[in-house]
A and B are shown apart, each in its own frame.
Chain A
Amino acid sequence: MIERLGLVSNALPAQAEELAALGGVLGLPLLLGLLGGLARPARGWPVAVVGVLPLLALGWLFLQVAGEGRVWTVPLGPLSLYWRVNGLALLMLLLTQAILLASALYAPTYLRVDVQAPARRQAWFWPLLGLLATSLSLIWLAADLLLLYFGLELMGLVAVGLMLLPGKADALVAGLRYLLLALIGSLAFLLGIALLLGAWGRLDLAGLTEAAEPGPLLWVAVALLSAGLLLKAAAFPLHAWLAPVHAAAWTPISALHAGLVIKASFFIALQLWLVLTPRSAPAAWLVGGLAAAAVVWGGVMAWRAAKLKDMLAWSTVSQLGYLLLGFPLLVGTDSTVAAVAWEGTWLQLAAHGIAKAAMFLAAGNLVLATGKSHLRELAGASRRFPLALLSFGIAAISLVGLPPSMGFTAKWLLLNAALMAGQWIWLAVLAAGTLLSAAYVFRVFRYSFVEDAPSLDFRPVPWSMDAVALVLALASLLLGLVAEWPLSLLRAAGGES
């Protein structure tokens, strides 16, 4: 499992070229963000032109590792920082850049047409976006706890900052709550790291794998780390902050938050479990129980939600439950099960990231067009703005996990893993999740097909906003059929074992 994470123990000092590639992936988004803050693009095309640069940097990084996972050390004064570049990290980086690029393309028109926020506040958007990209990339690439801590904190603060941008009272209150939770989470995380450092004297993950011995200290440390991370990931009992945060934020920010930010905490948590306690199945079952509760509770709440964005936020809680099922399926299971569950988990992460981002953008378009945020007020939407609804629907297919979407393929793998492991209960959880998600998603369509709606005045949605949402949605649909491609990337660089 450690090999799958790319944490090989023979770390090499990074060469100049490798460092440059790494620096490009981490630094370019930040640089472009600052540039964006200065230039404040009003159209999508300059963003599209410039946004290709980080992708090129990523390609360069891919060439550097050339088919096998590497761990590099980079000295920083007396410290040495560990970086890991493997298939998983590359896949996550690609996902991050894709969703970020989509949000960035969506944002100029959105800010101009929908928000009409003061220029000063819009100027903050771009640097924060760049910083978010950097912190996320840092988290995917980090192979020691110091870097992870740094990345996590940076991401948390930037996310709070982005939440606050609308500047309205509800956004501020939600942001305040989010800030406090993020701070609590980071304290728990720091305490956990302190214990690990005190006990085994090292922070690099590969080293900790060998050094860590089971015992009360390890359990307490992992419990603290997981509590902090699961709070930030909005895992089941710690999820209450999510819905108000999403409802109040700007649309592209909600998309990023649900698609990536929450996933980063989950990513770290799963990684730490696999590194520190790879055999503790009972504890993983506990997380599985939380996952089941998340799937059902999130689904029910999404079903009952009256507002479109609330529904999406609750559905994030529910879908995160699918991801948390990765714990019981990966921790303490045999290697054939783990191989399937491994692919299923990351595919699910990518699927939900893309699909949820697409749904948020499409929902943003619907809200912009109707000027209303309630589901009920979507009556007649299927005739008036079919494109936004189509994007929403296509992404919803992936969310529900119907073929041929990415969500379906991921669910297929998870179901396979659950059956192979003999953990029948997760079958029921996944089944319940599917039905619930179908129930809440089709509520939207039910309203949109109503024909005898009073014809209110509608605002036209700029085509570029529709196009971004549609492209993301189509990606989530069609990548399911060619899932072998992202999965081969996952396997390619040091994932075989």
Chain B
Amino acid sequence: MPSLLMEILLVASLLLLGALTLFNRHLVRACTWFVLFALTVSFSWWWMGFPWLASIELLLGAVLTGAFLFHALGVGPTAKRPSGLLAGWHDHPPPRGRALMRLLPALAMLAMLGLALEDLAEGRASVALWSCGMGLLGLGLWAFALHRHLIRRLLGFNVIGTGIFLILVSLADETERAAAHGLIITGLVVAMLGTALGALLIRRLEALEAQHGRQHAAGGHAI
């Protein structure tokens, strides 16, 4: 009974944290939510009895990915106030109608998956895990369709990835667990490296832009 309760609690908190990560207007806060989300995911792995996955998720997902995200925003231990151009950036979400329109591809995707997994998911381990994964996938896809901003898309990418990992674990039984874990670890590394590359790129672009802006400004003075 407590395990069921715990399961429900975990699913609910994961979905909530995922939604907060994806739809919080303020980027720095969204990234903070993401770190919390990753910590919860790590805890879930541990709770399910996968300490290895939990520690890798903790290291790669929460610590490193979080660090790179904050680096992209220009938030660091030395500079407490965000200095990146994007840090104070607020999204202007599209009007409600269009936002709902963009939900459609995510729903279509979910429906397709549901159709495919109809008879498969029944005999398998955890319905809760499976539905949580689907939920995160749907949220992530929607966020991906909704936002154009790179960091938001990186966040969306990470959340979708987590959703897929959960689905993967829910589908794999004992004999296939090794393969599933191999896939998940690869996926985690890829997600971390992808985020890292994206973050470094954003910083570099900002630097170039700032340089360009200075030159521009200097030229303006000369005239």
Contacts and interface: CB of A to CB of B under 8 A. Distances in A.
B186 A184 contact: no
B100 interface: no
A167 B204 contact: yes
Contact of B117 (A157, A164, A195): A195
A203 B115 CA distance: 22
Contacts of B116: 195, 216-217, 219-221
B194 A198 contact: no
A79 B178 contact: yes
Interface residues of B, number: 45
A193 interface: yes
Given A197-B172, A198-B171, A183 B180 contact: no
Contacts of B164: 187, 190-191, 194
A157 B201 CA distance: 13
B179 A198 contact: no
A220 B113 contact: yes
A157 B183 contact: no
A161 interface: yes
Interface stretch (B23-31, B84-92, B153-161, B213-221): B153-161
A49 interface: no
B198 A176 contact: yes
B190 interface: yes
A190 B137 CA distance: 12
Interface string B187-210: 101110110011001101100110
A216 B115 contact: yes
Interface residues of A, number: 42
Contact of B173 (A149, A150, A201): A201
A169 B198 contact: no
Contacts, number: 118
Nearest to A196: B171
A197 B205 contact: no
A193 B172 CA distance: 11
A193 B186 CA distance: 13
A220 B112 contact: yes
B117 A217 contact: yes
A197 B168 contact: yes
B204 A79 contact: no
A245 to B, nearest CB: 14
Interface in B51-97: none
Interface string A157-177: 100110010011100110110
A146 B179 contact: yes
A77 interface: yes
A223 B176 CA distance: 23
B5 interface: no
A186 interface: yes
B19 interface: no
A179 interface: yes
Interface of A: 77-79, 146, 149-150, 153, 157, 160-161, 164, 167-169, 172-173, 175-176, 179-180, 182-184, 186-187, 190-191, 193-195, 197-199, 201-203, 216-217, 219-221, 223
Q: Identify the 9 closest CB pairs spanning chains A and B, nearest first.
A: A198-B171, A220-B116, A78-B178, A194-B168, A217-B116, A153-B190, A79-B178, A183-B194, A201-B176
Given A180-B198, A195-B113, 5 more contacts: A146-B183, A194-B167, A201-B175, A203-B179, A216-B118
